[in-house]
Amino acid sequence: MSDSSPPPPRSTRRTRIVCVSDTHNSTVKLPKGDVLIHSGDLTNQGSYSELSKAVQWLEKADFDAKIVIAGNHDITLDPNFYAKHGSSFHNKNPQDPAKCLSLLTASPTITYLQHRSATIRLSRPDGPGTEFTVFGSPYSPEYGTWAFMYPRPDQGSAAVGSPNAAELWAAIPPDTDILVTHTPAYSHCDDSLGCRDLRAALAMVRPRLHVCGHVHQARGAERVRWDTGGGLGAGDGVSAEASVERWEDPSSDPASAKISLVDLTARGGKRALDFRDPAPPRAQRVSTGLPNPVDRSGRRETCVINCAIVATSWPHVGGRRFHKPIVVDLDLPVWR
The predicted model gives 22-39 an average pLDDT of 97
Query: Is residue 38 pLDDT above 80, yes or no?
Result: yes
Question: How confident is residue 10, by pLDDT bands cut at 50, 70 and 90?
Answer: confident
Q: Which fold has domain 12-333?
A: Purple Acid Phosphatase; chain A, domain 2 (3.60.21)
Count the alpha carbons within 13 Å of 72 in the hemisphere toward its beta carbon: 16
Could you tell me which residue, 107 or 157, shows the higher pLDDT? 107
- The residue extents of the domains of the chain are 12-333
pLDDT, position 7: 62
* % of the chain surpassing 90 pLDDT: 73
- The backbone torsions φ and ψ at residue 53, rounded to the nearest 5 degrees and listed phi first, read -65, -45
SS3 call for 25? coil
Beta bridge pairs of residue 68: 38, 112
Query: Is residue 313 pLDDT above 80, yes or no?
Result: no
What pLDDT digit, counting tens, does each position of 264-309 carry? 998 633 444 344 433 333 333 333 333 333 334 468 999 999 999 9
Burial (Cβ within 10 Å: 0-12, 13-18, ≥19) of residue 331 = middle
The predicted model gives 136-162 an average pLDDT of 82
Average per-residue pLDDT for the chain: 87
11-15, 182-186, 254-258: lowest mean pLDDT where?
Answer: 254-258
Of 101, 183, 173, 189, which is closest to residue 135 (Cα–Cα)?
173
Could you tell me which residue, 15 or 4, shows the higher pLDDT? 15
